[in-house]
Structure 1
Amino acid sequence: MAFLALLGAAGFRAAPGALMVPLHHEFGWSTSVMSLAVSINLLLFGLIAPFAAALMDRFGMRQVISAALVLVACGAGGSVFMTASWQLLLFWGLLIGTGTGSMALVLAATVSTRWFVERRGLVMGVLTAGSATGQLIILPPVASLAESTGWRAASLVIAAAALVVVPLVWAVMRDHPSDRGVLPYGADPNTYTPPADATGGAFSRALEALAFASRSWSFWALAIAFAICGATTNGLIGIHFIPSAHDHGMPTTVAAGLLAAVGVFDIAGTIASGWLTDRFDPRKLLVAYYGFRGVSLLLLPWLLSETVHPSMIMFVVIYGLDWVATVPPTAALCRELFGQRGTIVFGWVFASHQVGAAAAAIGAGAIRDSFGTYTYAWWGGAVLCVIAAALSFVVGTRRRADSPDALGDDQAGRSNSAATPAPVTDR
């Protein structure tokens, strides 16, 4: 059920990329204006995440996911009545951004933490692959429908799809293994202690986790690297690949198909990354992932053309395998370094991912409007990937006397249950 929710969230969030061309043709809105709406969407997709994680702790996953799907339906359905650009900001930016953000990767982190003791990396990889699957399943039909019937029909289909899932979520999803009378996978029945119920408001819990984590060098290294991850995936390729391919004479449907193919390989890459995270140092994995991504972006301007060449297929394969392969090792490092707060801390790290995505979406649109090409945006993304690789390499290598990593969980904040071990110190 969590996989299905993540699938829908990713597909609904990515849909604006396939609608930018028809919206431009009908309303004459510039790339910068439409990029602003998408940036709000991306920003909220991340900023809502830590609060959604706290709300799931307080009220349950089922209630939060159901409400999020209704918000998505309202945003997509309401957009068919748009006549001005500010309404695009409201429907596709605010409503859909808030709805999809409440079903973001913090849901995967919550499920893997609550329901599994062993193989958490693999589970995180499988659930994260739901994002790729959503892009694969939803983007091509949305692009095809927008081209043949109109973007309004595509928006209504998205609204209907979100509403259809609500009863299924309510009937099937459960919050804890104890709700089904079982233990988390891999838990020892003789030693396992269920986590204490969350207390206090979701807002205060989310801010407390941020205050705790922000005292650690590792948090900032992870957050900046993950912001670059968002900039070079959702912000650049996810939003601007189709318009950039269209600039080179490639039909929109063909470009959408290539982006969907990225999703195909993303499924394999993310699951494999989860498996690798259970067995190898997550830091080294992140260095490799960002390195491959940087090389791919550096070469992209020479690969785009009217037709699909073997070199473009190779780009799709490599970028797909690498797309969100960064998620399992990043989530694992948050659990390792921040203990029981790890899920909410990952929510804040994911928020930085979307801040980076939003900034890149706006920046790439401005570059396109100013220079008439996306080339400088792709090259800038390549440089950022080098920085992300360097930051990932040093995560956990510095230790400040006043950091939560040095103080230990009990000294830095006593809200954790006694059964939860203190987070590991930076290595």
Structure 2
Amino acid sequence: AMGQLVFLPFMAWLVKMDGWRTATLALCVFYAAAVVLVVLFIRNRPSDVGLRPFGAAPDSPIAAPPAPQGNLFLAPFEALAVAVRKPVFWVLAFSFFVCGASTNGLVQMHLIPMCGDYLIPATAAAGTLALMGGFNFVGTVASGWLTDRFNPRILLMIYYGLRGLSLFYLTSTGFDSTSLLLFAVFYGLDWIATVPPTVKLAADAFGPARATLVFGWIFAAHQLGAGFAAYGAGFVRTELGSYSLAFQAAGILCIIASLAFISGSRRRPEAAAAAA
């Protein structure tokens, strides 16, 4: 989110001033720097740096890292074999497919060229995406707070429903500055807000031992959705000369994803996960 806020205007300016090759080279430099920082400073567990997990009692012992068990290469596939037997996995995978399609694949890839159809400069359109990144940070933190206190199914039902409505709203505007500002603020708040409740439902359904592996597969569906929408929206724009149908189709998908969480939304999260 913050990277989107910081880098998008800069990258748009760099493309405008010196072309896409220079911008791509700059991205490669940033990626290489990120790899170095991860290797130097990121650890797997709090115990690796002598800390207790967040929320643990101050006098609790610092647990030693668990010894690896089983084949590390087969573990993700074993987790997938368990996950596909539960309907909750397919609901979460489908909803995250829609999440990826409506964010990374559609808005992140095609909002700038869509703005170009309305004669909005690329740098200004990139500023709109950057604004989304700032509000994305706020929305994600707020969603984590809400997930700790409310049924995550209800939250996801609301998030996807409002996201779908906002896409319909965008296509009904004339892309004036006020409309784009309202869309950027709202869509930014909703961008990654779906992650905390999705992770919570995965953890409730599959337990802490498998939750991260299962969420990896759920996130793979997110990337598939992003690829689908990136290609599909471009195809629609090429064939029809407008992005409107692509954005409206994404809105319909979001509404369907919202409806998928109606079942069990009135139950407590623990009971819903147990039933799944």
Report the CA distance shift for 1:228/1:424 in structure 2 as closer, same or farther (over 3 A).
closer
User: What's the counterpart of residue 275 of structure 1?
Assistant: 145
- In 2, the alpha carbon distance for the partners of 1:166 and 1:299 equals 39
User: What's the counterpart of residue 192 of structure 2?
Assistant: 324
User: Do 1:286 and 1:326's aligned partners in 2 also have CA atoms closer than 8 Å?
Assistant: yes
Per the TM alignment, residue 396 of structure 1 is displaced from its structure 2 partner at its CA by 8.3
Task: With a CA cutoff of 8 Å and minimum separation of 6, indicate the structure with the bigger relative contact order.
Answer: 2
The SS at the match of 2:85 is coil
User: C-alpha deviations, 1:378-409, integer Å up to 9, x for none?
Assistant: 110111111100112226899xxxxxx9xxxx
- In 2, the alpha carbon distance for the partners of 1:171 and 1:425 equals 40
User: What's the counterpart of residue 218 of structure 1?
Assistant: 88
User: C-alpha deviations, 1:194-233, integer Å up to 9, x for none?
Assistant: 6633333333101000000100011111111111111111
Per the TM alignment, residue 326 of structure 1 is displaced from its structure 2 partner at its CA by 0.2
Residue correspondence of structure 1 range 10-409 to structure 2 within 5 A: 132-188=1-57, 189-190=59-60, 196-305=66-175, 308-339=176-207, 340-394=209-263
The SS at the match of 1:280 is coil
User: C-alpha deviations, 1:294-321, integer Å up to 9, x for none?
Assistant: 111112123354xx42122111111111
User: What's the counterpart of residue 14 of structure 1?
Assistant: none
User: C-alpha deviations, 1:214-273, integer Å up to 9, x for none?
Assistant: 000111111111111111111110111111111111111111110111111111111100
User: What's the counterpart of residue 275 of structure 2?
Assistant: 426
User: C-alpha deviations, 1:108-134, integer Å up to 9, x for none?
Assistant: xxxxxxxxxxxxxxxxxxxxxxxx111
Per the TM alignment, residue 168 of structure 1 is displaced from its structure 2 partner at its CA by 2.7
Which amino acid letter does the alignment assign opposite residue 346 of structure 1?
F
Which amino acid letter does the alignment assign opposite residue 328 of structure 1?
P
Tell me the C-alpha RMSD between the 2 structures: 2.3
User: Do 2:45 and 2:65's aligned partners in 1 also have CA atoms closer than 8 Å?
Assistant: no
Report the CA distance shift for 1:142/1:320 in structure 2 as closer, same or farther (over 3 A).
same
Report the CA distance shift for 1:153/1:312 in structure 2 as closer, same or farther (over 3 A).
same
Per the TM alignment, residue 280 of structure 1 is displaced from its structure 2 partner at its CA by 0.7
Per the TM alignment, residue 164 of structure 1 is displaced from its structure 2 partner at its CA by 2.4
The SS at the match of 1:183 is coil
Report the CA distance shift for 1:197/1:395 in structure 2 as closer, same or farther (over 3 A).
farther
Per the TM alignment, residue 424 of structure 1 is displaced from its structure 2 partner at its CA by 5.2
- In 1, the alpha carbon distance for the partners of 2:115 and 2:71 equals 46
Which amino acid letter does the alignment assign opposite residue 296 of structure 1?
S
- In 2, the alpha carbon distance for the partners of 1:356 and 1:395 equals 25
Unaligned runs of 5+ in 2: none
> Could you tell me the percent identity over the aligned residues?
46
Q: How many residues align?
A: 272
Give TM-score scaled by structure 2 length.
0.91
Per the TM alignment, residue 426 of structure 1 is displaced from its structure 2 partner at its CA by 2.1
User: Do 1:290 and 1:389's aligned partners in 2 also have CA atoms closer than 8 Å?
Assistant: yes
Higher deviation after alignment, 145-154 or 296-305: 296-305
- In 1, the alpha carbon distance for the partners of 2:84 and 2:210 equals 12
Show structure 1 runs of 4+ deviating over 4 A: 189-195, 395-398
Give TM-score scaled by structure 1 length.
0.60
- In 2, the alpha carbon distance for the partners of 1:238 and 1:167 equals 27
